[in-house]
Amino acid sequence: MGIKYAQLKPCYPFPLSFSQLAYVKMTRFPLAPLLLSRFPIKLIMIKSILLRHETKPFEERSPLTPKQAQILIEEGHKIYVEKSPTRVFKDEEFQRAGCHLLEAGSWKTSPLDTIILGLKELEDEDFDLSHRHIYFAHLYKGQDGAHKTLERFRNGDGKLYDLEYLVDENKKRVAAFGIWAGFVGAALGIELWCRQQLGETANDWNNVETYKNEDDLIKSQEKWLSKVGSPRVIVIGANGRCGRGAKDLLNKLNVSATYFGRKETKSENLQREILKHDILINTVLMTSKTKPFLTAENLKSERRLSVLSDVSCDPTGEFNPLPFYSQCTTMDQPAISIDTGKRFDITAIDHLPSLLPRESSEDFADQLFPHLRTLLSGKISNSPWERSLELFYKNIFKTQSSLIVKEIYQ
């Protein structure tokens, strides 16, 4: 006879690591004081950070600048930096700041008290994860590969401080690339539409290169618009960080747009309003299921809409509000077309700020840096780090419990 998860939840019938015991205590599990007295946790002051090389193609950003690394070194910390041919800040800049340079991939064999700092997902490998990691992991919304990565953390007793979930007491993120994602995503939506008007197909656009700076990007888009005129644009999620970034780009290009916030997005006429525009820019961060903003069936109806720039870009997530495409686009294939009876192109790159790597890195790193110093001080109680870690443990426990249920039913 199978045993339901509800019957397993109160007794946690699986081995607990020391770090998981900390979470049990945090959630007031009745046996926690006894367990913790038998197996005390030794708090270790984190003194070393290793900035890893990003393996995701076309990723040039960095969550730490050479100047900030120098400040941390002056405060007594050790900073290791993996060599990277793609990072916007050169290896020599970090070396001059006093950092120790290492070969790419060195984090895998670094001492376990070293915190591993990065931005994008780790490579899909089979070894267990035993370090403290900081990066955008995309593991908590049912994304592809999430279960395996959480198992790697569980098996290795590693810890994850997911950058997406570093939030203050009001649940507001303390560091985000959102402004730049919206800014660049709006620009790519404009360019894709202009290319359409000039007779190009999505396959004709086979490469997106980084821009030197914001002015360079603006001039590029002005050149495209000068050939075909201005489109009608609608931005969903206009009041958030990404939405504000999109609005900034459109204002600088003198492109008028319709801006929908939370209230307007709940309208029964949402689909009809979207279809009246040339370009949809989606910047909504979804944390729960909702009625789709647009469906494949909507796209088969009479419409003006011909371009989606999906800044939020979560096609495999369970909360995806645009469930008519299933994969992100890339820097070397920035657009795809889907068959709806009438042309419809999509650009959905999941690391848009990489196209403005220096400006976006400096902005993000400035937001993160004071919190990074807090983490290194060891004073993380009631901080964004503790909140992020608590969410990590909740998901680890879900993974552990689901494995137990599976074993019981087998």
Asked if 120 is an active-site residue, the reply is: yes
C-alpha torsion angle, residues 178, 179, 181, 187 (rounded to 10): 160
Q: Considering the candidates 133, 138, 351, 371, report the single residue annotated as catalytic.
A: 138
Question: Could you give the CA distance from residue 366 to residue 175 in angstroms, rounded to a whole number?
Answer: 8
C-alpha torsion angle, residues 25, 29, 31, 34 (rounded to 10): 10
153 - beta bridge partners?
none
Q: Considering the candidates 47, 78, 120, 252, report the single residue annotated as catalytic.
A: 120
Q: For 145-183, give the DSSP string.
A: THHHHHHHHHHHT-EEEEGGG-B-TTS-BSS--HHHHHH
Asked if 138 is an active-site residue, the reply is: yes
Q: Count of alpha carbons within 13 Å of 3, Cβ hemisphere only?
A: 14
Q: Which amino acid is at 195?
A: R
| 389: phi then psi, degrees, rounded to nearest 5 | -65, -40
* DSSP SS3 for 242: helix
* DSSP SS3 for 337: strand
Which of 191, 201, 184, 204 minimizes the C-alpha distance to 337? 201
Residue with structure tokens 């070293």? 114
Which of 228, 217, 219 minimizes the C-alpha distance to 185? 217
DSSP-derived pairing of the beta strands 345-347 and 336-337: antiparallel
Q: Please say whether the beta carbons of 101 and 124 come within 8 A.
A: no
Which of 381, 375, 382 minimizes the C-alpha distance to 133? 375
Residue 107: Cβ-neighbour burial (10 angstroms; 0-12, 13-18, 19+):
buried
Question: Could you give the CA distance from residue 225 to residue 341 in angstroms, rounded to a whole number?
Answer: 27
Question: Which residues form the catalytic set?
Answer: 120, 138
